[in-house]
Chains A and B, each alone.
Chain A
Amino acid sequence: MTTVLRPATAAKATGQPTRQRRIQLGVRERLAPYAYIAPFFLLFFIFGLFPLLFTFYVALFDWDPIGERHYVGLANFSELVDDPRFWGALRNTFSIWLLSTVPQLLLALGMAHVLNHVRLRAATLFRMSVLVPYVTSVAATTIVFAQLFDRDYGMLNWFIGLLGFEHIDFTASVWGSHIMIATMVAWRWTGYNTLLYLASLQSVPRDLYEAAAVDGANGWKQFRHITIPALRPIIVFTVITSTIGGLQIFTEPLLANPVGGLTCGAARQCQTLTLFLYEQGFGRFSFGYGAAVGVALFVIVVIVAAINYLLVTRIRSERP
């Protein structure tokens, strides 16, 4: 260590610093921790907290980016509550979230269970390959999947045709577009969640499985009675993150249907809340109404957080 710290010790050896210098140094030392955390708080106040509070303010105005703005009170909110486009976007967001999260987490559970085998060869290779979708950008993912799901020339419809069924127009229908977007989301995150589950699984003592096997518990019973309980905390965590992620789905519905524009199709069949916010704010330039959508999103986040809190405390109390 002494070699590493040579400058300081050397300075000490050359002579006592003056009194003033020592005081300066003392103040600087005391302020150092604040200086180290300052960048975060500075950026958070400017680009995080302030915009969040400002959203509530902007939502009270009829706000045009060119400069015209009129105070309208709660008019934006009452308009929002009566707006079928808003409720439609909420429904789409929820539906896409459900369709992507449930299969994705179930698949990830199963995959983690398989990857957790002790004698698995090339384990690192398998782990790396499930992470490939995570590194691929959402924009690129969406363009590839939109083609795979294409009505006339998509590979998926080609298979469906080979099996003797009618082609499905995924982008045009409500369910079709939701399934398509949910697939993109699930494809991107399944591997990531698999690794989270796998990490948790590896902290479960092997003896537990061996003892269970000796006792005659088959694979399913082991999965049900050892794997699932051990993973419960991380499952809650992934449900929380996928919910927050689900509220932010934007790129997929924007790019999945190139002719759909900002509404993801003429009937707004797959427009999510974030895309609706973007459409109002930056497509139609009504900042006030867009901000009101932002406030609604905030309320949903708070509700989700409250549910999570209840879930987490219940799990804690269930622990032996």
Chain B
Amino acid sequence: MNPTPSTTGRATRGRRSVNRLPFWVYALLGVMVFVSVFPLYWMFVVSTTDSATAFSLPPRVVPGGNFLRLAGLVFDIVPFVQALLNSLIIATVIGVGQAGLCALAGFAFAKLSFPGRNTLFLIVVLTMTVPAQLAVIPQYLIMSKLGWVDTLQAVIVPGLVTAFGIFWMRQHISSTIDDELMHAARVDGATTWQIFWRIAFPLVRPAALVLGLFGFVNAWNDFLWPFIVLKSPERYTVQIAIKALQNSRDIDLGLAMSGSFLATLPLLVLFVFVGRRLVQGIMEGAFKG
């Protein structure tokens, strides 16, 4: 800190207040962090103590040592390991699919010229505004015609590529890859596919990774469509398994909390490693997918 000398006292005061934030700012931020994290912390507390914790007053706020016993109960009631595996498969395939296929389409819209390009891109943008939810009944009918009801691909395939992802990758590719590079590669005899795979994709890999991460998180947390189309317990995703826990026997809230915690834990672990990238991604314009 080396404050430049200033002529008026007023300016000095202004500068100091810029350099050191007042206490209340941190207090406010502290409240913000508390509100963001507390519900999760409490979910953890209930899932490490006993179902009765959820019903004790004043509320208990220290975790106990019962996590494994409660987790065991969760695994007894629903095939939770299978559900974790299903969620992992669905979210991974969707994440990878979105990163690859959106980059490919984004590349075509950003860097290749072909008849109908602008119209087709406009259609892509327009499809973002209509929520898919309102057509779930025909979607279900199509899935049953295909014989896909109660299979994982019924959840995976429709999510493999999104309009938003294409839009986003197009933005990144047009600002990252310059036309001279494309031209040079063409002169060298590279095919379009080689240009994409060896030049364009490596350069936008960070953006594709962020897109894939968002795809993963959204697929992991998706509820309505898997709830409609996955029927048998061994096909459940973790979210549907939570619902099943809530329905089981005498609506044991403690167990539902344990299940919720187990379902959230993998994402929290992932978040520790990639949270920074997700924050960056949103701030660069990764709006809802």
Of A77-85, A115-123, A168-176, the stretch lying at the interface with chain B is A115-123
Q: How far is the CA of A299 from the CA of B263 in the complex (A)?
A: 36
Structural contact, B283 and A195, CB atoms closer than 8 A: yes
B18 within 8 A of A: yes
Of A52-60, A86-94, A224-232, the stretch lying at the interface with chain B is A52-60
Structural contact, B18 and A139, CB atoms closer than 8 A: no
B82 within 8 A of A: no
Structural contact, B58 and A143, CB atoms closer than 8 A: no
- Cβ 8 A contact of A191, one of B36, B139, B267: B36
Give the shortest distance, in Å, between B110 (CB) and chain A (any CB).
11
Question: Considering only CB atoms, which chain B residue lies closest to A52 in the complex?
Answer: B135
Q: C-beta contact mask, B44-72 vs A, less than 8 Å → 1, else 0?
A: 00100000001111110000000000000
B178 within 8 A of A: no
A47 within 8 A of B: yes
A220-265 CB contacts (< 8 Å) to partner B: 237, 241, 244-245, 247-248, 250-251, 254-255, 258-259
Q: Provide the residues of chain A in CB contact with B253, threshold 8 Å.
A: 143, 147
Q: How far is the CA of A102 from the CA of B265 in the complex (A)?
A: 31
Structural contact, B20 and A39, CB atoms closer than 8 A: no
Q: How far is the CA of A202 from the CA of B282 in the complex (A)?
A: 13
Q: How far is the CA of A237 from the CA of B230 in the complex (A)?
A: 34
Q: Provide the residues of chain B in CB contact with A312, threshold 8 Å.
A: none
Q: Report which residue of A2, A36, A39, A187 has the largest number of chain B beta carbons within 10 angstroms of its beta carbon.
A: A36
Question: Considering only CB atoms, which chain B residue lies closest to A29 in the complex?
Answer: B192
Q: Provide the residues of chain A in CB contact with B276, threshold 8 Å.
A: 124, 128
Q: Report which residue of B109, B228, B279 has the largest number of chain A beta carbons within 10 angstroms of its beta carbon.
A: B279
A97 within 8 A of B: no
A71 within 8 A of B: no
Question: Considering only CB atoms, which chain B residue lies closest to A289 in the complex?
Answer: B137
The dominant DSSP class at the A interface is helix
Q: How far is the CA of A28 from the CA of B68 in the complex (A)?
A: 58
Structural contact, B223 and A8, CB atoms closer than 8 A: no
Question: Considering only CB atoms, which chain A residue lies closest to B223 in the complex?
Answer: A251
Q: How far is the CA of A16 from the CA of B58 in the complex (A)?
A: 84
B120 within 8 A of A: yes
Give the shortest distance, in Å, between A182 (CB) and chain B (any CB).
15
Question: Considering only CB atoms, which chain B residue lies closest to A30 in the complex?
Answer: B114
Structural contact, B283 and A294, CB atoms closer than 8 A: no
Q: How far is the CA of A287 from the CA of B185 in the complex (A)?
A: 54
Give the shortest distance, in Å, between A97 (CB) and chain B (any CB).
13
Q: Provide the residues of chain A in CB contact with B136, threshold 8 Å.
A: 51, 277-278, 281, 294
Structural contact, A55 and B160, CB atoms closer than 8 A: no
Q: Known: A192-B282, A199-B282. Is A140-B261 also a contact (CB below 8 A)?
A: yes
Q: Provide the residues of chain B in CB contact with A148, threshold 8 Å.
A: 39, 42
Q: Known: A237-B287, A287-B137. Is A195-B114 also a contact (CB below 8 A)?
A: no
Q: Provide the residues of chain B in CB contact with A58, threshold 8 Å.
A: 137-138, 141
Q: Provide the residues of chain B in CB contact with A258, threshold 8 Å.
A: 246-247, 251
Give the shortest distance, in Å, between A106 (CB) and chain B (any CB).
14
Q: C-beta contact mask, A118-137 vs B, less than 8 Å → 1, else 0?
A: 11100010111111111111
Structural contact, A51 and B135, CB atoms closer than 8 A: yes
Structural contact, A132 and B242, CB atoms closer than 8 A: no
Structural contact, B54 and A199, CB atoms closer than 8 A: no
Q: Provide the residues of chain B in CB contact with A55, threshold 8 Å.
A: 134-135, 137-138
Q: How far is the CA of A41 from the CA of B161 in the complex (A)?
A: 9
Q: How far is the CA of A54 from the CA of B21 in the complex (A)?
A: 58
Q: How far is the CA of A18 from the CA of B192 in the complex (A)?
A: 20
Q: How far is the CA of A28 from the CA of B151 in the complex (A)?
A: 35
Q: Provide the residues of chain B in CB contact with A198, threshold 8 Å.
A: 283
Q: How far is the CA of A74 from the CA of B35 in the complex (A)?
A: 49
A27 within 8 A of B: no
Q: How far is the CA of A134 from the CA of B54 in the complex (A)?
A: 24
Structural contact, B134 and A129, CB atoms closer than 8 A: no
Give the shortest distance, in Å, between B220 (CB) and chain A (any CB).
7
Q: Provide the residues of chain A in CB contact with B285, threshold 8 Å.
A: 199
Q: How far is the CA of A111 from the CA of B54 in the complex (A)?
A: 31
- Cβ 8 A contact of B133, one of A111, A137, A250: A250
Structural contact, A39 and B191, CB atoms closer than 8 A: no
Q: How far is the CA of A43 from the CA of B142 in the complex (A)?
A: 12
B184 within 8 A of A: yes
A311 within 8 A of B: no
Q: Provide the residues of chain B in CB contact with A72, threshold 8 Å.
A: none
Q: How far is the CA of A139 from the CA of B19 in the complex (A)?
A: 43
Question: Considering only CB atoms, which chain B residue lies closest to A202 in the complex?
Answer: B283
Structural contact, A111 and B32, CB atoms closer than 8 A: yes
B99 within 8 A of A: no
Q: Provide the residues of chain A in CB contact with B251, threshold 8 Å.
A: 258-259
A4 within 8 A of B: yes
Give the shortest distance, in Å, between B222 (CB) and chain A (any CB).
9
Question: Considering only CB atoms, which chain B residue lies closest to A28 in the complex?
Answer: B191
Q: Known: A196-B282, A301-B130. Is A126-B198 also a contact (CB below 8 A)?
A: no
Closest 6 CB pairs of A and B: A140-B260, A51-B138, A54-B138, A51-B135, A199-B283, A137-B221
List 13 A–B pairs whose Cβ atoms lie within 8 Å, in order of A's numbering: A8-B189, A37-B104, A39-B101, A111-B32, A126-B32, A132-B271, A134-B217, A135-B270, A137-B238, A137-B239, A143-B260, A187-B39, A278-B228
Binding site for B on A (CB under 8 A): 1-2, 4-5, 7-9, 11-12, 25, 28-30, 32-34, 36-37, 39-41, 43-44, 46-52, 54-55, 58, 111, 114-115, 117-120, 124, 126-141, 143-145, 147-148, 152-153, 155, 158, 187, 191-192, 195-196, 198-199, 202, 213-214, 237, 241, 244-245, 247-248, 250-251, 254-255, 258-259, 274, 277-278, 281-282, 287, 290-291, 294-295, 297-298, 301, 305
